[in-house]
Chain A
Protein backbone atom coordinates (compact mmCIF):
# COMPACT_ATOMS: atom_id res chain seq x y z
CA UNK A 1 0.00 0.00 0.00
CA UNK A 2 2.73 2.42 1.05
CA UNK A 3 4.66 1.48 -2.07
CA UNK A 4 1.60 2.28 -4.19
CA UNK A 5 1.15 5.64 -2.50
CA UNK A 6 4.83 6.39 -3.05
CA UNK A 7 4.56 5.44 -6.68
CA UNK A 8 1.48 7.60 -7.20
CA UNK A 9 3.19 10.51 -5.40
CA UNK A 10 6.34 10.08 -7.44
CA UNK A 11 4.47 10.05 -10.76
CA UNK A 12 1.79 12.64 -10.05
CA UNK A 13 3.14 14.86 -7.29
CA UNK A 14 2.87 18.06 -9.39
CA UNK A 15 -0.81 17.39 -10.09
CA UNK A 16 -1.57 16.36 -6.51
CA UNK A 17 0.03 19.54 -5.15
CA UNK A 18 -1.73 21.67 -7.77
CA UNK A 19 -5.17 20.23 -6.97
CA UNK A 20 -4.54 20.54 -3.24
CA UNK A 21 -3.45 24.18 -3.45
CA UNK A 22 -6.28 25.13 -5.80
CA UNK A 23 -8.80 23.53 -3.45
CA UNK A 24 -7.27 25.43 -0.50
CA UNK A 25 -7.56 28.66 -2.53
CA UNK A 26 -11.21 28.02 -3.32
CA UNK A 27 -12.01 27.15 0.29
CA UNK A 28 -10.25 30.36 1.37
CA UNK A 29 -12.39 32.28 -1.12
CA UNK A 30 -15.51 31.04 0.61
CA UNK A 31 -14.14 31.97 4.05
CA UNK A 32 -13.59 35.66 3.28
CA UNK A 33 -16.31 36.87 5.59
CA UNK A 34 -15.26 34.62 8.48
CA UNK A 35 -14.20 36.66 11.51
CA UNK A 36 -10.87 34.83 11.87
CA UNK A 37 -10.01 35.52 8.22
CA UNK A 38 -10.89 39.17 8.68
CA UNK A 39 -8.64 39.40 11.74
CA UNK A 40 -5.68 37.85 9.91
CA UNK A 41 -6.20 40.12 6.93
CA UNK A 42 -6.53 43.22 9.10
CA UNK A 43 -3.31 42.32 10.91
CA UNK A 44 -1.45 41.64 7.65
CA UNK A 45 -2.50 44.79 5.82
CA UNK A 46 -2.00 46.86 8.99
CA UNK A 47 1.58 45.64 9.26
CA UNK A 48 2.26 46.25 5.57
CA UNK A 49 0.67 49.69 5.80
CA UNK A 50 3.24 50.76 8.40
CA UNK A 51 6.00 50.09 5.85
CA UNK A 52 3.90 51.68 3.08
CA UNK A 53 3.34 54.76 5.22
CA UNK A 54 7.06 55.28 5.81
CA UNK A 55 7.94 54.89 2.12
CA UNK A 56 5.02 57.05 1.03
CA UNK A 57 6.08 59.86 3.37
CA UNK A 58 9.62 59.70 2.06
CA UNK A 59 8.54 59.97 -1.59
CA UNK A 60 5.92 62.55 -0.79
CA UNK A 61 8.18 65.26 0.66
CA UNK A 62 9.37 66.33 -2.81
CA UNK A 63 5.80 66.86 -3.99
CA UNK A 64 4.80 69.01 -1.03
CA UNK A 65 6.07 72.30 -2.49
CA UNK A 66 3.97 71.97 -5.63
CA UNK A 67 1.03 70.77 -3.58
CA UNK A 68 1.31 73.78 -1.25
CA UNK A 69 1.33 76.18 -4.19
CA UNK A 70 -1.80 74.59 -5.66
CA UNK A 71 -3.50 74.58 -2.27
CA UNK A 72 -2.82 78.29 -1.77
CA UNK A 73 -4.51 79.09 -5.07
CA UNK A 74 -7.38 76.74 -4.26
CA UNK A 75 -7.66 78.33 -0.83
CA UNK A 76 -8.08 81.77 -2.35
CA UNK A 77 -10.73 80.46 -4.77
CA UNK A 78 -12.60 78.76 -1.94
CA UNK A 79 -12.46 81.90 0.18
CA UNK A 80 -14.26 83.74 -2.62
CA UNK A 81 -16.81 80.94 -2.91
CA UNK A 82 -17.40 80.86 0.85
CA UNK A 83 -18.03 84.56 0.87
CA UNK A 84 -20.64 84.10 -1.84
CA UNK A 85 -22.15 81.05 -0.12
CA UNK A 86 -22.43 82.93 3.18
CA UNK A 87 -24.64 85.39 1.46
CA UNK A 88 -26.78 82.56 0.10
CA UNK A 89 -26.76 80.89 3.53
CA UNK A 90 -28.13 83.96 5.27
CA UNK A 91 -30.81 84.26 2.64
CA UNK A 92 -31.54 80.52 2.88
CA UNK A 93 -31.92 80.67 6.68
CA UNK A 94 -34.29 83.59 6.39
CA UNK A 95 -36.41 81.70 3.86
CA UNK A 96 -36.31 78.50 5.96
CA UNK A 97 -37.30 80.53 8.97
CA UNK A 98 -40.30 81.70 7.06
CA UNK A 99 -41.15 78.08 6.19
CA UNK A 100 -40.28 76.81 9.74
CA UNK A 101 -37.67 74.31 8.45
CA UNK A 102 -34.44 73.43 10.32
CA UNK A 103 -31.08 72.03 9.23
CA UNK A 104 -30.38 69.10 11.50
CA UNK A 105 -27.68 67.14 9.71
CA UNK A 106 -23.95 67.79 10.09
CA UNK A 107 -21.21 65.48 8.89
CA UNK A 108 -17.65 65.11 10.00
CA UNK A 109 -14.91 64.80 7.38
CA UNK A 110 -11.68 63.02 8.25
CA UNK A 111 -8.88 64.03 5.85
CA UNK A 112 -6.57 61.20 4.91
CA UNK A 113 -3.81 60.25 2.50
CA UNK A 114 -3.74 57.23 0.21
CA UNK A 115 -0.55 55.42 1.06
CA UNK A 116 -0.86 52.51 -1.34
CA UNK A 117 -3.01 51.28 -4.19
CA UNK A 118 -3.57 47.70 -5.20
CA UNK A 119 -3.09 46.92 -8.86
CA UNK A 120 -5.59 44.09 -9.30
CA UNK A 121 -7.74 45.17 -12.25
CA UNK A 122 -11.11 44.14 -10.86
CA UNK A 123 -10.28 44.27 -7.16
CA UNK A 124 -8.97 47.79 -6.90
CA UNK A 125 -8.41 49.00 -3.33
CA UNK A 126 -6.66 51.90 -1.62
CA UNK A 127 -5.01 51.91 1.77
CA UNK A 128 -5.46 55.16 3.72
CA UNK A 129 -3.62 56.40 6.80
CA UNK A 130 -6.64 56.58 9.10
CA UNK A 131 -8.07 53.77 11.19
CA UNK A 132 -10.00 52.88 14.32
CA UNK A 133 -8.05 55.50 16.30
CA UNK A 134 -9.62 58.16 14.09
CA UNK A 135 -13.10 56.69 14.56
CA UNK A 136 -13.17 55.22 11.07
CA UNK A 137 -15.70 52.44 10.67
CA UNK A 138 -16.49 49.89 8.01
CA UNK A 139 -19.01 51.21 5.50
CA UNK A 140 -18.10 54.90 5.71
CA UNK A 141 -17.99 56.63 2.33
CA UNK A 142 -14.68 58.01 1.05
CA UNK A 143 -14.68 61.01 -1.28
CA UNK A 144 -12.62 63.89 -2.57
CA UNK A 145 -13.58 67.31 -3.86
CA UNK A 146 -14.94 65.85 -7.08
CA UNK A 147 -17.05 62.97 -5.86
CA UNK A 148 -17.32 59.49 -4.37
CA UNK A 149 -14.13 57.42 -4.32
CA UNK A 150 -15.24 54.29 -2.49
CA UNK A 151 -16.27 52.76 0.80
CA UNK A 152 -14.27 51.65 3.83
CA UNK A 153 -13.98 47.88 3.68
CA UNK A 154 -11.56 46.93 6.44
CA UNK A 155 -10.13 48.86 9.39
CA UNK A 156 -7.06 48.34 11.57
CA UNK A 157 -5.86 50.61 14.39
CA UNK A 158 -4.09 53.14 12.15
CA UNK A 159 -5.06 52.21 8.60
CA UNK A 160 -8.08 51.34 6.49
CA UNK A 161 -8.71 49.65 3.19
CA UNK A 162 -11.06 51.40 0.78
CA UNK A 163 -12.92 49.44 -1.86
CA UNK A 164 -12.95 52.01 -4.62
CA UNK A 165 -15.35 52.43 -7.55
CA UNK A 166 -13.16 50.16 -9.69
CA UNK A 167 -13.78 47.18 -7.41
CA UNK A 168 -16.26 44.67 -8.75
CA UNK A 169 -17.48 43.86 -5.23
CA UNK A 170 -18.62 47.41 -4.55
CA UNK A 171 -22.27 47.98 -5.36
CA UNK A 172 -24.13 51.16 -4.50
CA UNK A 173 -27.66 52.29 -5.30
CA UNK A 174 -27.48 55.47 -7.35
CA UNK A 175 -29.89 57.71 -9.18
CA UNK A 176 -29.99 60.08 -12.10
CA UNK A 177 -29.95 63.53 -10.51
CA UNK A 178 -32.27 64.98 -13.19
CA UNK A 179 -34.82 62.23 -13.83
CA UNK A 180 -34.52 60.50 -10.38
CA UNK A 181 -34.40 56.96 -11.88
CA UNK A 182 -32.53 54.51 -9.63
CA UNK A 183 -30.07 51.78 -10.56
CA UNK A 184 -27.17 49.77 -9.18
CA UNK A 185 -23.64 51.08 -9.65
CA UNK A 186 -20.94 48.47 -10.19
CA UNK A 187 -17.58 47.97 -11.89
CA UNK A 188 -17.81 45.23 -14.51
CA UNK A 189 -14.08 44.85 -14.95
CA UNK A 190 -13.93 47.23 -17.90
CA UNK A 191 -16.36 50.04 -17.17
CA UNK A 192 -18.23 51.66 -14.32
CA UNK A 193 -21.85 50.80 -15.05
CA UNK A 194 -25.33 51.43 -13.73
CA UNK A 195 -27.56 48.42 -14.22
CA UNK A 196 -31.21 47.52 -13.61
CA UNK A 197 -32.62 50.72 -15.07
CA UNK A 198 -35.96 50.29 -16.82
CA UNK A 199 -35.78 50.73 -20.59
CA UNK A 200 -38.33 53.51 -20.34
CA UNK A 201 -36.10 55.51 -17.97
CA UNK A 202 -35.40 59.04 -19.09
CA UNK A 203 -31.59 59.08 -19.19
CA UNK A 204 -29.37 61.25 -21.35
CA UNK A 205 -25.63 61.35 -21.95
CA UNK A 206 -24.15 63.97 -19.62
CA UNK A 207 -26.63 63.43 -16.77
CA UNK A 208 -25.10 63.51 -13.30
CA UNK A 209 -25.30 60.30 -11.27
CA UNK A 210 -25.47 60.64 -7.46
CA UNK A 211 -25.90 58.17 -4.62
CA UNK A 212 -29.49 57.40 -3.72
CA UNK A 213 -31.25 57.89 -0.40
CA UNK A 214 -32.41 54.28 -0.76
CA UNK A 215 -28.86 53.03 -0.18
CA UNK A 216 -28.27 51.51 3.23
CA UNK A 217 -24.59 52.49 2.98
CA UNK A 218 -24.70 56.06 1.69
CA UNK A 219 -28.00 57.69 2.41
CA UNK A 220 -27.13 61.20 1.24
CA UNK A 221 -26.69 62.27 -2.39
CA UNK A 222 -22.96 62.24 -3.15
CA UNK A 223 -21.83 62.91 -6.72
CA UNK A 224 -20.51 59.79 -8.45
CA UNK A 225 -20.17 60.41 -12.17
CA UNK A 226 -21.53 61.51 -15.50
CA UNK A 227 -23.44 59.31 -17.97
CA UNK A 228 -21.00 58.57 -20.78
CA UNK A 229 -23.04 56.12 -22.83
CA UNK A 230 -26.54 54.67 -22.70
CA UNK A 231 -26.40 51.02 -23.68
CA UNK A 232 -29.64 49.68 -25.02
CA UNK A 233 -29.46 45.90 -25.15
CA UNK A 234 -32.01 44.28 -27.45
CA UNK A 235 -32.82 41.57 -24.95
CA UNK A 236 -34.18 41.97 -21.45
CA UNK A 237 -36.22 44.62 -19.68
CA UNK A 238 -33.37 46.69 -18.36
CA UNK A 239 -31.07 49.36 -19.68
CA UNK A 240 -27.42 49.80 -18.71
CA UNK A 241 -25.31 52.94 -18.52
CA UNK A 242 -21.59 53.52 -18.73
CA UNK A 243 -20.46 56.12 -16.21
CA UNK A 244 -17.43 58.38 -16.23
CA UNK A 245 -16.47 58.84 -12.56
CA UNK A 246 -16.14 62.45 -11.43
CA UNK A 247 -13.14 61.67 -9.25
CA UNK A 248 -9.98 60.63 -11.06
CA UNK A 249 -9.21 57.37 -9.32
CA UNK A 250 -5.89 56.89 -11.04
CA UNK A 251 -4.31 60.09 -9.74
CA UNK A 252 -6.16 60.66 -6.46
CA UNK A 253 -3.88 61.03 -3.44
CA UNK A 254 -5.85 62.84 -0.75
CA UNK A 255 -9.36 61.87 0.30
CA UNK A 256 -11.92 62.47 3.04
CA UNK A 257 -13.75 59.87 5.04
CA UNK A 258 -17.29 60.95 5.71
CA UNK A 259 -18.43 59.94 9.20
CA UNK A 260 -21.80 58.75 8.11
CA UNK A 261 -23.43 56.18 10.35
CA UNK A 262 -25.17 53.54 8.30
CA UNK A 263 -28.75 52.77 9.17
CA UNK A 264 -28.51 49.53 11.15
CA UNK A 265 -32.17 48.72 10.84
CA UNK A 266 -31.98 49.19 7.09
CA UNK A 267 -28.87 47.01 7.03
CA UNK A 268 -30.72 44.21 8.73
CA UNK A 269 -33.53 44.38 6.23
CA UNK A 270 -31.64 45.03 3.02
CA UNK A 271 -28.93 42.92 1.50
CA UNK A 272 -25.79 44.90 0.99
CA UNK A 273 -22.35 44.06 -0.23
CA UNK A 274 -20.97 43.27 3.21
CA UNK A 275 -23.24 40.27 3.40
CA UNK A 276 -22.66 39.19 -0.19
CA UNK A 277 -19.13 40.15 -1.22
Chain B
Protein backbone atom coordinates (compact mmCIF):
# COMPACT_ATOMS: atom_id res chain seq x y z
CA UNK B 1 0.00 0.00 0.00
CA UNK B 2 1.31 3.42 -0.92
CA UNK B 3 2.14 5.47 2.18
CA UNK B 4 0.56 8.44 0.40
CA UNK B 5 -2.86 6.84 0.85
CA UNK B 6 -2.42 6.37 4.61
CA UNK B 7 -1.14 9.87 5.40
CA UNK B 8 -4.53 11.64 5.46
CA UNK B 9 -5.85 9.15 8.01
CA UNK B 10 -2.81 9.66 10.26
CA UNK B 11 -3.13 13.45 10.01
CA UNK B 12 -6.89 13.16 10.52
CA UNK B 13 -6.49 12.43 14.26
CA UNK B 14 -4.67 15.65 15.27
CA UNK B 15 -6.77 17.65 12.81
CA UNK B 16 -10.02 16.48 14.41
CA UNK B 17 -8.70 17.40 17.87
CA UNK B 18 -7.75 20.87 16.64
CA UNK B 19 -11.16 21.19 14.98
CA UNK B 20 -12.96 20.30 18.19
CA UNK B 21 -10.80 22.17 20.73
CA UNK B 22 -9.05 25.06 18.99
CA UNK B 23 -11.31 26.09 16.13
CA UNK B 24 -14.29 26.98 18.40
CA UNK B 25 -12.01 29.62 19.97
CA UNK B 26 -11.73 31.46 16.65
CA UNK B 27 -15.33 30.89 15.56
CA UNK B 28 -17.32 34.07 14.83
CA UNK B 29 -21.03 33.85 15.73
CA UNK B 30 -20.90 30.08 15.33
CA UNK B 31 -19.26 30.24 11.92
CA UNK B 32 -16.03 28.33 11.92
CA UNK B 33 -13.57 27.03 9.35
CA UNK B 34 -13.60 23.37 8.41
CA UNK B 35 -10.15 21.82 8.70
CA UNK B 36 -11.40 18.46 7.46
CA UNK B 37 -12.21 20.00 4.10
CA UNK B 38 -8.71 21.48 3.82
CA UNK B 39 -7.25 18.06 4.58
CA UNK B 40 -9.60 16.35 2.15
CA UNK B 41 -8.95 18.80 -0.70
CA UNK B 42 -5.20 18.67 -0.10
CA UNK B 43 -4.95 14.90 -0.39
CA UNK B 44 -7.52 14.60 -3.16
CA UNK B 45 -5.47 17.00 -5.29
CA UNK B 46 -2.49 14.75 -4.67
CA UNK B 47 -4.14 11.34 -5.06
CA UNK B 48 -7.11 11.70 -7.38
CA UNK B 49 -10.88 11.63 -7.52
CA UNK B 50 -11.54 8.05 -6.46
CA UNK B 51 -9.31 8.45 -3.43
CA UNK B 52 -11.00 11.75 -2.56
CA UNK B 53 -14.48 10.26 -2.78
CA UNK B 54 -13.66 7.32 -0.51
CA UNK B 55 -11.65 9.44 1.93
CA UNK B 56 -14.48 11.98 2.13
CA UNK B 57 -16.87 9.18 2.97
CA UNK B 58 -14.62 7.81 5.73
CA UNK B 59 -13.92 11.27 7.21
CA UNK B 60 -17.64 12.02 7.22
CA UNK B 61 -18.50 8.68 8.83
CA UNK B 62 -15.96 9.16 11.64
CA UNK B 63 -17.02 12.74 12.27
CA UNK B 64 -20.71 11.80 12.29
CA UNK B 65 -19.98 9.09 14.86
CA UNK B 66 -17.95 11.20 17.27
CA UNK B 67 -19.91 14.43 17.01
CA UNK B 68 -23.34 13.03 17.74
CA UNK B 69 -24.85 14.67 14.66
CA UNK B 70 -27.24 12.77 12.40
CA UNK B 71 -25.36 9.77 11.04
CA UNK B 72 -25.11 10.05 7.27
CA UNK B 73 -25.17 13.83 6.85
CA UNK B 74 -21.41 14.45 6.93
CA UNK B 75 -20.87 11.16 5.08
CA UNK B 76 -22.98 12.47 2.22
CA UNK B 77 -21.54 15.97 2.07
CA UNK B 78 -17.89 14.96 2.45
CA UNK B 79 -18.23 12.19 -0.16
CA UNK B 80 -19.60 14.76 -2.60
CA UNK B 81 -16.83 17.21 -1.66
CA UNK B 82 -14.12 14.62 -2.29
CA UNK B 83 -15.67 13.77 -5.65
CA UNK B 84 -15.94 17.41 -6.78
CA UNK B 85 -12.37 18.14 -5.69
CA UNK B 86 -11.30 15.23 -7.86
CA UNK B 87 -12.18 17.23 -10.98
CA UNK B 88 -9.24 19.52 -10.19
CA UNK B 89 -6.82 16.60 -9.95
CA UNK B 90 -3.95 16.78 -12.40
CA UNK B 91 -0.88 14.66 -11.83
CA UNK B 92 1.38 17.23 -13.45
CA UNK B 93 0.05 20.26 -11.59
CA UNK B 94 -0.17 19.02 -8.00
CA UNK B 95 2.59 21.26 -6.64
CA UNK B 96 1.46 24.19 -8.74
CA UNK B 97 -2.06 23.96 -7.32
CA UNK B 98 -0.99 23.44 -3.72
CA UNK B 99 1.50 26.28 -3.64
CA UNK B 100 -0.62 28.90 -5.38
CA UNK B 101 -3.90 30.73 -4.82
CA UNK B 102 -5.63 27.89 -6.72
CA UNK B 103 -5.71 25.78 -3.55
CA UNK B 104 -7.70 28.31 -1.44
CA UNK B 105 -10.02 28.88 -4.41
CA UNK B 106 -10.75 25.16 -4.72
CA UNK B 107 -11.27 24.99 -0.95
CA UNK B 108 -13.68 27.96 -1.19
CA UNK B 109 -15.77 26.23 -3.84
CA UNK B 110 -15.75 22.81 -2.19
CA UNK B 111 -16.51 24.15 1.31
CA UNK B 112 -19.44 26.16 -0.04
CA UNK B 113 -20.87 23.06 -1.72
CA UNK B 114 -20.18 20.95 1.38
CA UNK B 115 -21.84 23.44 3.75
CA UNK B 116 -24.87 23.97 1.52
CA UNK B 117 -25.35 20.21 1.08
CA UNK B 118 -25.07 19.74 4.81
CA UNK B 119 -27.60 22.46 5.59
CA UNK B 120 -30.02 21.11 2.97
CA UNK B 121 -29.82 17.70 4.63
CA UNK B 122 -30.20 19.00 8.16
CA UNK B 123 -32.25 22.17 8.25
CA UNK B 124 -34.00 22.74 4.97
CA UNK B 125 -37.75 23.13 4.80
CA UNK B 126 -40.13 25.07 2.59
CA UNK B 127 -40.03 28.16 4.78
CA UNK B 128 -36.22 28.41 4.62
CA UNK B 129 -34.81 31.48 2.93
CA UNK B 130 -32.53 29.97 0.29
CA UNK B 131 -30.40 33.11 -0.12
CA UNK B 132 -29.82 33.40 3.63
CA UNK B 133 -29.05 29.68 3.78
CA UNK B 134 -26.57 30.02 0.92
CA UNK B 135 -24.92 33.06 2.51
CA UNK B 136 -24.75 32.13 6.19
CA UNK B 137 -24.22 28.41 5.90
CA UNK B 138 -22.48 28.19 2.55
CA UNK B 139 -20.47 31.27 1.75
CA UNK B 140 -19.32 32.49 5.18
CA UNK B 141 -17.82 29.18 6.38
CA UNK B 142 -16.31 28.75 2.92
CA UNK B 143 -14.58 32.16 3.01
CA UNK B 144 -13.34 31.49 6.55
CA UNK B 145 -11.94 28.08 5.57
CA UNK B 146 -10.43 29.50 2.42
CA UNK B 147 -8.62 32.25 4.34
CA UNK B 148 -7.15 29.63 6.65
CA UNK B 149 -6.02 27.64 3.61
CA UNK B 150 -3.66 30.45 2.62
CA UNK B 151 -1.55 29.47 5.62
CA UNK B 152 -1.13 25.96 4.19
CA UNK B 153 -0.30 27.45 0.79
CA UNK B 154 2.23 29.79 2.37
CA UNK B 155 4.08 26.98 4.13
CA UNK B 156 3.82 24.48 1.30
CA UNK B 157 7.30 24.00 -0.16
CA UNK B 158 7.53 24.71 -3.86
CA UNK B 159 9.15 21.30 -4.42
CA UNK B 160 6.51 19.57 -2.31
CA UNK B 161 7.36 16.91 0.25
CA UNK B 162 4.17 16.14 2.18
Contact = CB atoms under 8 A, between A and B. Distances in A.
> SS class of chain B's interface: helix, strand, loop or mixed?
helix
A241 B22 CA distance: 33
Contacts, number: 147
B113 to A, nearest CB: 14
Contact of A21 (B17, B57, B119, B124): B57
Given A14-B50, A40-B65, A277 B118 contact: no
Given A17-B50, A55-B21, A116-B21, A190 B133 contact: yes
Contacts of B67: 45, 118, 120, 123, 125
A29 B73 contact: yes
B128 A189 contact: yes
Contacts of B21: 52, 55-56, 59, 116
Interface of A: 13-14, 17-18, 21-22, 24-32, 37, 40-41, 44-45, 48, 51-52, 55-56, 59, 116-125, 127, 153-154, 161, 163, 166, 168-169, 187-190, 195, 240, 249-250, 277
B69 A125 contact: yes
B53 interface: yes
What are the 7 closest A-B residue pairs judged by CB atoms, nearest first? Answer: A29-B72, A161-B68, A189-B123, A44-B65, A28-B72, A168-B123, A122-B123
Interface of B: 17, 19-21, 23-24, 27, 29-32, 34, 49-50, 53-54, 57, 60, 65-76, 79-80, 83, 86, 115, 118-119, 121-125, 127-129, 132-133, 136-137, 141
A44 B66 contact: yes
A120 B60 contact: no
